[in-house]
Amino acid sequence: MAVRRICMHACGGVTRVGATVARLATYMVAEDLLPEKTLISCAPAFLRGVEEDVLMVLKSPSFALDGCEWSCGTNLLYLAGITPAVRFLLPEYAEAQGFDLSEGSRRYPAGVTQEFARVVAERVAGIAREMMERGSPYRFERPALKMQPDKWFRTNPNMEGVMEFVQLEPGIYRPHTMPPLPEERAGKHGVEPDTGGEAEVGHRPEGDLGAKVTR
């Protein structure tokens, strides 16, 4: 189905600057860059089963903004059987973009915290616009909720052992089971375009367009 809106899942942590960046970037996208085209997921409401929060996840592709290696936003979706369309690992993305989060503030949205949040928001909005533009090849398939209580309390960070990713660039990943993004097909940001060739066994799964696969 065509994409009309995106659903954002921001890190809900309180101990890392990345969490503040995630929440601030989410508001920037929803209020400034893509108003009326962005839904903000509330983790407690989603877990509680509030209909509004469940439906937004089922009807729109999810963008997970993880504030640290524990990837709580992505993991929350995973525990409900949902795979995000895109995942941002903010500390890694910050380093790649030249931001030192140790100089940021968790309490006040100013300085490097605000500057980096704007960069994240612009990147999210760029991906989302390409998904939503008329004639986009991207198609979203509605997922089915699947509770996975046996997956609680895993100790491995970065979704190790449960989800594989295609690295679009440092800090930005697509789960390899999800559709390629429009920019992948266009060969942007160092991602090889789709040439129609076969995947190399052991290097890139079919449909991953030559991007790096991580576990």
What are 64-116's pLDDT values in tens digits? Answer: 999 999 999 999 999 999 999 999 999 999 999 999 999 888 887 789 999 99
- What interhelical angle do 17-28 and 111-132 show, nearest 10? 50
Indicate whether 214 pLDDT > 70.
Answer: no
Q: If you average pLDDT over residues 6-15, what whole number do you get? A: 92
Predicted model pTM: 0.84
| Mean of pLDDT over the chain | 86
List Cβ<8 Å contacts ≥24 apart for 155-164: 157/69, 157/70, 157/71, 158/69, 158/71, 158/89, 159/71, 159/74, 159/75, 159/78, 160/215, 161/215, 162/78, 163/74, 163/78, 163/83, 164/205, 164/213, 164/214, 164/215
Measured torsion, CA atoms of residues 200, 206, 212, 214, in degrees rounded to the nearest 10: -110
Query: Looking at per-residue confidence, does 150 or 135 come out higher?
Result: 135
Indicate whether 204 pLDDT > 80.
Answer: no
Q: If you average pLDDT over residues 149-173, what whole number do you get? A: 89
Query: Looking at per-residue confidence, does 105 or 181 come out higher?
Result: 181
Indicate whether 213 pLDDT > 80.
Answer: no
Domain boundaries, the chain: 6-214
Indicate whether 129 pLDDT > 50.
Answer: yes
- What pLDDT does 161 receive? 87
Residue 199 pLDDT class (50, 70, 90 cuts) = very low
